[in-house]
Structure 1
Amino acid sequence: MTDRVAALVVAAGQGTRLSSSPDDLPKQYRHIGSASVLSHTLNALARHPDIDEIAAVIGEDDHELFQASLQELPSSHRDKCQGPIIGGDTRQQSVRSGLEALNGLGVKYVLIHDGARPFVSQDIISGNLDLLQSGSKAVLTAIPVVDTIKRATDNGLETVDRSGLWAAQTPQSFPLNDILQWHRLADGEDTRTFTDDIGLAEWQGADISICEGSPDNFKITTPVDLQKAERQAEQMTSEPLSQSNSLADLGDIRVGQGYDVHAFEDGEAVILGGVSIPHTQKLKGHSDADVVLHAITDAILGGLADGDIGSHFPPSDPQWKGAASDQFLVHALNLVRKRGGRVAHVDVTVVCEAPKIGHHRDALRQSVAQICGLPIGRVSVKATTSERLGFTGRKEGIACLATATLRLPFNDTDE
């Protein structure tokens, strides 16, 4: 898609219906799986190749919480995120502030999405963008109402005809200039309030297209919703890839292995699995020399039979000098997605005498899980020494071995 696309994430609410947690955090900052709800939401949007930038509207007291969620993203996804925008007293005011911040940045289309809907799929995002490109002035993500609907009246109950009824979700998508103009008009009428942005399109009489959503794309509102989200995060990756999204449907099981090694040089910390670990030295390399992410990347490429990290990111290319290695891993993950597959499990063994890895193991697992979109139970990190033998035994560097299990659809054209 050549036109510039932005996602506007509405995350300024305080989640009063989810107040039973002892930490009393707004719902978008509660953790599910390996990261906050908002981090999962930002990740799902940022990984779509046609979304160029993301703006989040947050509460004025939530800067630290937002920054913590941002740090849970791979660096390549953080790069898409602007600094936060302070929201207003209502959702409508918050969206208006976000749209004004995007105005003048060359954005043609905007997808407005709830920060508390962490399981939006790539298919839904693509569906919204396809409809915008075809000329739609407003796109509503929604699912058809399937339950029988009853209306309470003074005389009892009456059944509502559910044919043609849709339950609204987000994203709701528009040409930026149109939705911004509608918000400006609405703000000029003090009595006009809208619970969602499609309401403004209805008010203006715009033609509205429907992109069918998914029951998985639910909004976390109550404690029951949060429990459902926690179960969903455990059972699936944070990035639905197909309508079924089931590992059982991907019968081509591949196992790839990777190995990487880097020598020490003067420094103050080593980067392992995207985590900075204080040490008396750092690892030497063209990029950030993260042996863990390099080994995982090679393991995934091995499972795909698609070369190695050096063939995709040549060390002779100056653009990768000092680069964060999570972008190499994200590239390999995208290759799996393009094949219609998923990474099901990652196993890592770090070999070194120092630094000691044990105290950092959980942080490494969480970081790798977040980058890969996996529940933490599908990421293993182990550490061992070489009994003071060889270059690792002499404390000259660190080695890492990794195994990745891939699930792909069967393809008769594979050679």
Structure 2
Amino acid sequence: MIYAQILAGGKGTRMGHVKMPKQFLTLADKPILIHTVEKFVLESRFAAILIVCPADWLSHTKEIVHRYIHDDRVKVVTGGAERNETLMQGINYLQTHYDLTDDDVVITHDAVRPFITQRIIADNITAALQYPAVDTVVPAIDTIVQGATESVTTIPVRESMYQGQTPQSFNIQALIKAYDKLTTDQKATLSDSCKICLLAGETVHLVRGENFNFKITTPYDLKVATALVETRE
């Protein structure tokens, strides 16, 4: 079976002084989260679409989902304190409520990347059915500079550099085994879900994203997203 998990657990601290997490802010005429979920509802192969959100916002999430989304596959689940804990909370829900097999996969996506396309979703599904882990990326346009404090330590070759996006997709059993292998110290270094599999020695396959599949993180991003929605409409 194929499952989707929309990660909506962030607090949105880089958005500035706003009254709610960024995934609930309005983009055009509805919450950013809803724009994202609508793209996943269009994919008929998903057996369930989980929205994993902060415990304090569980009721609010259920309310807006009930208002805008009419699909029984969509479930609202409580997330964790940080990204990968939220991811694993969703996996725990799938283990509890569905009869998972060794072939089942999950397509995970940031709630605040509302411009995902059906092509990107389909490519992730195809790759996840073949590989244990999949990352969506775009080639780096600018030169990447690695530094420490105020000095450059290295400049990697740009042609081998990519910018990570989501979805990040996994064979569910491979993800569980990889996460269980990690030490407490390794889990503390996780800044990215695919790193779970990398640290466990798994191969991570690449899928091409799109530059417009960006993450709404700052007030500037929200202005750009608003302009993009208005242009498309």
Same-fold call, TM cutoff 0.5:
yes
Does the alignment pair 1:195 with 2:191?
Answer: yes
Which residue of the partner structure matches residue 34 of structure 1? 29
- Indicate if the aligned counterparts of 2:25 and 2:31 stay in contact, CA closer than 8 A: yes
**What amino acid does structure 2 have at the position aligned with 1:166?**
Y
The offset of 1:156, in angstroms, is 4.2
Which residue of the partner structure matches residue 6 of structure 1? 3
1:13-412 matches, within 5 Å, as 13-21=10-18, 24-75=19-70, 78-82=71-75, 84-103=76-95, 105-107=98-100, 108-133=104-129, 135-152=130-147, 156-157=151-152, 159-186=155-182, 189-193=183-187, 194-236=190-232, 375=233
The offset of 1:167, in angstroms, is 0.7
Larger deviation, residues 117-126 vs 175-184: 175-184
The offset of 1:79, in angstroms, is 1.4
**How far apart, in 1, do the equivalents of 2:149 and 2:61 lie?**
46
SS in 1 for 2:169: strand
More RCO (CA 8 Å, sep 6+): 2
- Indicate if the aligned counterparts of 1:53 and 1:80 stay in contact, CA closer than 8 A: yes
Which residue of the partner structure matches residue 267 of structure 1? none
**How far apart, in 1, do the equivalents of 2:149 and 2:89 lie?**
41
List structure 1 runs of 4+ shifted beyond 3 angstroms.
151-160
**How far apart, in 2, do the equivalents of 1:65 and 1:12 lie?**
13
**How far apart, in 1, do the equivalents of 2:216 and 2:206 lie?**
22
- Indicate if the aligned counterparts of 2:179 and 2:197 stay in contact, CA closer than 8 A: no
Which residue of the partner structure matches residue 319 of structure 1? none
Normalized per residue, which structure has more helix?
Answer: 2
SS in 1 for 2:230: helix
**How far apart, in 1, do the equivalents of 2:31 and 2:72 lie?**
18
**How far apart, in 2, do the equivalents of 1:208 and 1:160 lie?**
20
**How far apart, in 2, do the equivalents of 1:11 and 1:17 lie?**
15
**How far apart, in 2, do the equivalents of 1:199 and 1:59 lie?**
23
**How far apart, in 2, do the equivalents of 1:176 and 1:234 lie?**
38
- Indicate if the aligned counterparts of 1:35 and 1:69 stay in contact, CA closer than 8 A: no
The offset of 1:215, in angstroms, is 1.0
| Number of corresponding residues | 226
> CA deviation digits over 1:191-248, x for unaligned, max 9?
1231121101111111221100011111111111111111122122xxxxxxxxxxxx
The offset of 1:154, in angstroms, is 7.0
SS in 1 for 2:159: coil
* Structure 1 unaligned regions, length at least 5: 237-374, 376-415
Relative distance call for 1:234 and 1:181 in structure 2 (3 A) is: same
**What amino acid does structure 1 have at the position aligned with 2:196?**
L
Relative distance call for 1:40 and 1:205 in structure 2 (3 A) is: same
Relative distance call for 1:153 and 1:207 in structure 2 (3 A) is: closer
The offset of 1:65, in angstroms, is 2.1
Relative distance call for 1:163 and 1:111 in structure 2 (3 A) is: same
Q: CA RMSD in A?
A: 1.8
The offset of 1:149, in angstroms, is 2.3
**How far apart, in 2, do the equivalents of 1:39 and 1:201 lie?**
29
> CA deviation digits over 1:262-296, x for unaligned, max 9?
xxxxxxxxxxxxxxxxxxxxxxxxxxxxxxxxxxx
- Indicate if the aligned counterparts of 2:137 and 2:206 stay in contact, CA closer than 8 A: yes
**How far apart, in 2, do the equivalents of 1:85 and 1:185 lie?**
25
SS in 2 for 1:143: strand
Identical columns (%): 26
